[in-house]
Amino acid sequence: MQKIEKVFGKKKNILIGMIHLPPLLSIKGFPGFDVVLKKALKDLENLEKAGFDGALIENDDDKPHTEFASAAQIAHFVIVAQVVVRAANIPIGVQVMLNDWQASIAIAKVTGVQFTRLDVFVDHVTCEWGEISPNPKEIYDYKQSIYPKL
């Protein structure tokens, strides 16, 4: 992952669109691999045509929103991210589940996406899906172990 200006070519007024994936493998309502990939690529095409500076892939339709994704979700997400990154003309990022920072950082590294998003990094949050209590030092240390030069 790189600094914002290096990724987007500017420091501010960055417009990032969302690629919301249908339910992934192992999640109720999973529509099949082809449907998920076609939707992701169509969303990317629409965002690029509309002039967005980047796109964020997330599996928001995977319910219930638990803090961590399953192995099946992660494996499927990797495939989708790889296909999107190869097709993209804009920077791509990922966010897995509501706050699965480990999966997000690892998927970013293996797929070559340029950024990640975490809903919660510092504060304890209570939301409709439960409690999230991140440990910023643990997240930072993990990121450094994956991206040691940052």
DSSP β-ladder status, 125-127 and 115-116: unpaired
Tell me if 134 sits within 8 A of 122, measured CB to CB: yes
Predicted pLDDT of residue 123: 75
Predicted pLDDT of residue 110: 95
Cα 58 to Cα 52: distance, rounded to the nearest angstrom: 16
Q: pLDDT per residue over 84-118, tens digit each?
A: 999 999 999 999 987 788 999 999 999 999 999 88
pLDDT score of 150 more than 60: no
Which strands sit side by side in the sheet containing 92-95, from one edge to the other?
16-20, 54-58, 92-95, 115-116
SS3 content of the chain, % helix, strand, coil (to 5): 40, 15, 45
